[in-house]
A and B are shown apart, each in its own frame.
Chain A
């Protein structure tokens, strides 16, 4: 009986849809668990998120339909607008960071001739990725700490006592601290993505390149850079998506403060929902943010596409 459920090779006979479904019923049985869990914990909540963005809702007894009132409020919310500005600054900073030093490191590691050494260096660059993200954030709160922090101690060590700051506690520096977090921004996934791209380039291309007397810069500019375009686009997308959702970092480093000087949209949403119990409003914020992210990522895809055809 199960022989009828062959995927390819079997001749598709004209069968009624129901009969067809019945013949491959095992295929559906295997999908039941995943859809049970996805439906309960993802699709259900998604529907609720969309629906409740039109409600004045505190997650419990207050539950009143208010039409587009939440969305109107989002548009006039100065805190939210401020947080968007911060998210854009963080995104711009992160793009500048991930498109430079991790790429440089990947190219340099890729060209290390001694294989054992190259492997060791690669593993050492990856180690920070194995450390739990929260631990890294905690270590960086220590880097930025005003008392006995690594950065301030370093400044004092080289005689720049006047430059020390309570980096996370001053509104002039808190956003910068978030932008520069994790300097030199290499110990992470982006380095690995670039390296994977470089490793995919065919060896013959490098051989003919060196025969033509290519310099290091020319090799990078005309050979490597074009061939890892896909990786660069991926990194740009991941960075933008990640930064627009950035949440844990400001929550732990600065709490969005002081004041609202380092507030990000996702953190603002969290605050509204869980500090003020404005869950309907938080849902509207989430919808707006979600659509925004979708538009920005589509735009990036477009930019890369058009530059691919024109360049």
Chain B
């Protein structure tokens, strides 16, 4: 009996290990080869680097940093807009009863169901008409509009879960609605705000099609658009591009280390609600 359970546990762990290794294998290959010189990569494809060729990372960092900065500005802008818009809307839906509330809420939520490609063309024409091609604002607002819909829903649900009568009693105490929003609702909503923020930041960083369509100015491109195009010496070759991939992933990996919990709940709630 004992042996059987042991065997079973061993098989259990073995299968998990195989699945985990298969999942991580491409990333592992990327990491080890990102430290290799061109010839090293060619000759010792599978092995550890014969010596760690840090030049790849130095070149990749020098090349990518301005684009990373663009990504930070754009993703940060999207997060800011989404948090402001959706926390205000969610507060209104959670704290008040008003004519047309149901319909207005549906109008916000419905935005999540309209596939992005349908709006790609008219959005492009609109942004072009507004003179926002090749601008940060053009990269920020359309994605922020989508994000606000989901943000409103997540924050509203969170606020609705707070003790009933909280906002009402504040009103009875004579607090104005802006005060209730900024002094009561926002501080209490911090956990969900961080979840929405992380979720939005990830999708903002990942946006590819939209900047591809509206940005042609090199100086405004987010890092995602220039992956795989790093120019270096011929000696660097593939390893340099791989170093670029690793470098562009770094911000979120670091953030993930420090904020594992909101990350995981953000990712699941995003999928479940979206």
Using a CB–CB distance below 8 Å, which chain A residues touch chain B? 2-3, 5-9, 17, 20-21, 24, 26-31, 33-35, 37-38, 40-42, 44-46, 48-49, 52, 59, 101, 104-105, 108-109, 111-113, 121, 123-136, 138-143, 148, 150, 153, 157, 183-184, 186-187, 189, 192-193, 196, 216, 234, 238, 241, 245, 247-248, 251, 266, 269-270, 273-274, 279, 282-283, 286-287, 289-290, 293
Contacts and interface: CB of A to CB of B under 8 A. Distances in A.
Interface stretch (B50-58, B189-197, B247-255): B247-255
A289 B115 CA distance: 9
Given A6-B168, A33-B84, A153-B45, A46 B145 contact: no
Contact of A7 (B95, B114, B145): B95
A289 B268 contact: no
Interface residues of B, number: 95
Contacts of B240: none
Interface in B21-50: 22-24, 26-27, 29-30, 41-42, 45-46
Rank and list the top 3 A-B pairs by shortest CB-CB distance, nearest first: A45-B122, A30-B92, A27-B96
Contacts of A8: 97, 164-165, 168
A140 B168 contact: no
Contact of A108 (B19, B99, B168): B19
Given A46-B119, A127-B27, A183 B176 contact: no
A139 B26 CA distance: 7
Interface string B7-27: 011001101100110111011
Contacts, number: 270
Given A104-B19, A234-B272, A290-B115, A24 B96 contact: yes
Contacts of B241: 138
B27 A131 contact: yes
Contact of B248 (A33, A135, A143): A135
A30 B181 contact: yes
Contacts of A127: 24, 27, 253, 256
B70 interface: no
B118 A41 contact: no
Majority-rule SS of B interface residues: helix
B88 A248 contact: no
A192 B267 contact: yes
B72 interface: no
18 contacts: A2-B176, A3-B171, A7-B167, A34-B89, A38-B148, A40-B126, A41-B126, A42-B146, A45-B122, A46-B122, A49-B118, A125-B23, A139-B27, A150-B26, A183-B22, A247-B117, A270-B120, A287-B118
Given A150-B26, A189-B267, A289 B15 contact: no
Contacts of A124: 20, 23-24
B19 A132 contact: no
Contacts of B99: 17, 20-21, 24
A21 to B, nearest CB: 6
A289 B120 CA distance: 13
A125 B172 CA distance: 50
B81 interface: yes
Given A49-B118, A148-B45, 12 more contacts: A7-B168, A26-B178, A34-B148, A46-B119, A108-B15, A131-B27, A135-B245, A135-B248, A192-B264, A234-B271, A234-B272, A283-B122
Interface in B223-274: 224, 227-228, 238, 241-242, 245, 248-249, 252-253, 256, 260, 263-264, 267-268, 271-272
Contacts of B119: 42, 45-46, 49
Nearest to B124: A59
Given A21-B98, A30-B88, A131-B249, A273 B120 contact: yes
Contacts of A132: 205-206, 224, 248-249, 252
Interface string B141-177: 1101110110010000000000011011001101011
Nearest to B228: A138
Nearest to B17: A121
Contacts of A183: 22
Contacts of A112: 12-13, 16
